[in-house]
């Protein structure tokens, strides 16, 4: 009886469990790194892409001998995009698992609620997807002596400035309308967007909200229409963005859509179909083999997870890069002490070749953003994929865009 044998094995496993845990640390004691993101629920597609990118990088590093001769051990936790669960996980990762650093956060709210505990414990956090502008500034001097929060995603302030520039300057729209969801992602983004438009001397003609999960955008769209808007700027996530595009089609009316990076989510592209074509969004990474590193990453990801199109390429790439940045910092620090890793991240003296960019001193003591406004390019939805909106942006040596030093 196979089942019987397996049950016996199971019982044996339980019996030995205590024993294995009591064993003394082995020579190649793994380096524990936390990973927190939503792997179930509405924003899970970003969380899972990020997780898979991270795991891909960790597998590569471990295969190549690890960091400081030690393998990286990921401790994955599903925060379900719930603030209080994120807090609990942060406590667990810090105090129980004793991770040396944590990667992750898709949701700005979870990041804001949780990362204070890393700050207190002096353990670095690398936000690799969440974009709320305030995230990396929550513990800036003078609020704290050292800031332990870093980021490898494009913050809203950059994205909103790019959106405003694209809409007002490059395409000459005069009457933008903003549609944002009522989550803190949407509302914080909306605020940044209004400020960015204001800098360009434009006031949005309408600012409308909807809830995550709403399926009918008629009243919002009619308000936009009545206000005489000529472009729709968005801050929301995939399914609701698709409802906006489809809702416009229903009303027999179409405005160009320009919005935050989430317009590249598969849930928008697939569900809006032809209605979504032409939507534009800033992207740190587009699933195109424009550099050898990108080619290798895409191929490895496709092979590892047996898929063709990455659900959220941006999350996957940023997640992947965040691991290499952390590994480089640990190597440079020569140890796993949180404060040393922070110092190394702030003064990284090796160039890290990533998927998004090549990181050359990406952080400093006062600047914890790896992405500057010159790095993302505009992507546009075309035939079910995101392609560069302005192909000239990625031609020749412009394909690899490196952080500007301010």
**Site for other proteins, rule CB under 8 A:** 6-7, 10-11, 13-14, 17, 39-42, 44-45, 48, 76-78, 82-85, 87-89, 91-92, 94-96, 109, 112-113, 116, 120, 134, 182-184, 186-188, 208-211, 213-216, 218-220, 222-223, 226, 238-239, 242-243, 246, 249-252, 266-267, 270-271, 273, 311
Residue 329 near residue 370, CB atoms below 8 Å: no
Give the nearest distance from C-beta 377 to other proteins in angstroms.
Answer: 25
Residues whose CB is less than 8 angstroms from the CB of residue 190 and which lie 6 or more positions away in sequence, other chains included? 178, 180, 207, 235
Q: Which is nearer to other proteins, 89 or 325 (CB)?
A: 89
Of 249 and 300, the one with the shorter C-beta distance to other proteins is 249
- E-only strand ranges, 92-145: 101-104, 125-127
Q: How far is the CB of 132 from other proteins (least distance, A)?
A: 9
- For residue 96, CA distances in Å to 8, 31, 34, 90, 235 come to 31, 14, 11, 10, 37
Residue 1 and residue 42 in contact, taking contact as beta carbons nearer than 8 Å = no
Query: Which residue number, 166 or 192, has a Cβ lying nearer to other proteins?
Result: 192
Half-sphere exposure of 205 (CA within 13 A, CB side): 18
d(CA 377, CA 383): 19
- Distance in Å, CB of 223 to other proteins, minimum: 6
Match 């044996």 to its residue by tokens: 12
Question: In the complex with other proteins, which residue's Cβ is closer, 171 or 226?
Answer: 226
Nearer to other proteins, 91 or 171 (CB): 91
Q: Half-sphere exposure (CA, 13 Å, Cβ side) for 306? A: 0
DSSP class per residue in 164-178: HIIIIIIS--S-EEE
How near is the Cβ of 105 to other proteins at its closest, in Å?
Answer: 14
Given the complex with other proteins, which of 223 and 361 has the nearer CB atom? 223
* 131 touches 112 (CB < 8 A): no
Please tell me the distance from the alpha carbon of residue 370 to that of residue 375, in angstroms, as a whole number.
10
Sign (positive or negative) of CA dihedral 380, 381, 387, 392: negative
Distance, in Å, from the CA atom of 69 to the CA atom of 282, rounded to the nearest integer, reads: 38
Enter the tokens of residue 272. Answer: 């809006």
Cis, bond preceding 142 (omega within 30 deg of 0): yes
CB nearer to other proteins: pick between 278 and 290? 278
Torsional sign, CA 55, 38, 110, 358 = positive
Interatomic CA distance for residues 98 and 75, integer angstroms: 10
CB of 147 to other proteins, least distance (A): 15
* Distance of closest approach, residue 43 Cβ to other proteins, in angstroms: 9
CB of 216 to other proteins, least distance (A): 5
Q: How far is the CB of 348 from other proteins (least distance, A)?
A: 29
Q: How many helices (H) and strands (E) does the chain have?
A: 12, 14
**Contact criterion met (CB below 8 Å) for 230 and 202:** no
Distance CA 227, CA 232 (A): 12
Q: Give 210 or 378: the residue with its C-beta nearer to other proteins.
A: 210
Residue 158 vs 178, nearer CB to other proteins: 178
Residue (7 or 171) nearer to other proteins, CB: 7
Q: How far is the CB of 296 from other proteins (least distance, A)?
A: 26
- Residue 109 beta carbon to other proteins: minimum distance, rounded to whole angstroms: 5
């Amino acid at each position: 009886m196979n089942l019987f044998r397996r049950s016996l094995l199971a019982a044996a496993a339980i019996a030995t469990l205590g024993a294995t845990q009591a064993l003394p640390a082995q020579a190649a004691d793994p380096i524990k790194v936390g990973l927190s993101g939503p792997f179930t629920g509405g924003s899970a597609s970003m969380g899972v892409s990020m997780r898979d990118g991270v795991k891909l990088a960790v597998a590569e590093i471990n295969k190549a001998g690890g960091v400081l001769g030690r393998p990286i051990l990921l401790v994955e936790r599903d925060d379900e995009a719930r603030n209080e669960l994120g807090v609990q996980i942060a406590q667990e990762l810090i105090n129980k698992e004793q991770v040396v650093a944590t990667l992750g956060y898709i949701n700005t709210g979870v990041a804001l609620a949780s990362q204070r505990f890393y700050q207190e414990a002096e353990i670095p956090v690398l936000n690799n997807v969440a974009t709320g502008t305030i995230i990396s500034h929550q513990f800036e001097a003078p609020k704290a002596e050292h800031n332990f929060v870093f980021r490898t995603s494009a913050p809203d302030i950059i994205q909103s400035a790019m959106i405003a520039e694209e809409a007002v300057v490059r395409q000459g729209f005069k009457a933008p309308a903003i549609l944002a969801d009522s989550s803190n992602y949407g509302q914080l983004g909306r605020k940044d967007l209004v400020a960015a438009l204001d800098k360009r001397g434009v006031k949005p003609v309408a600012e409308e909200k909807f809830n995550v999960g709403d399926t009918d955008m008629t009243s919002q769209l009619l308000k936009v229409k009545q206000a005489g808007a000529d472009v729709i700027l968005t801050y929301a996530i995939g399914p609701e963005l698709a409802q906006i595009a489809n809702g416009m089609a229903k009303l027999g009316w179409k405005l160009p859509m320009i919005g935050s990076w989430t317009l590249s989510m598969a849930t928008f592209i697939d569900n809006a179909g032809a209605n979504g074509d032409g939507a534009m969004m800033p992207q740190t990474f587009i699933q195109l083999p424009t550099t050898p590193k990108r080619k290798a990453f895409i191929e490895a990801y496709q092979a590892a997870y047996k898929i063709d199109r990455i659900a959220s390429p941006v999350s996957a790439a940023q997640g992947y890069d965040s691991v290499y940045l952390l590994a480089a910092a640990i190597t440079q620090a020569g140890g796993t002490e949180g404060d040393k890793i922070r110092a190394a991240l702030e003064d990284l003296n090796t160039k890290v070749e990533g998927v998004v960019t090549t990181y050359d001193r990406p952080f400093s003591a006062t600047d914890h953003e790896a992405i500057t406004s010159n790095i993302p390019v505009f992507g546009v939805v075309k035939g079910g994929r995101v392609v560069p909106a302005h192909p000239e942006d990625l031609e020749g040596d412009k394909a690899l865009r490196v952080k500007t030093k301010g």
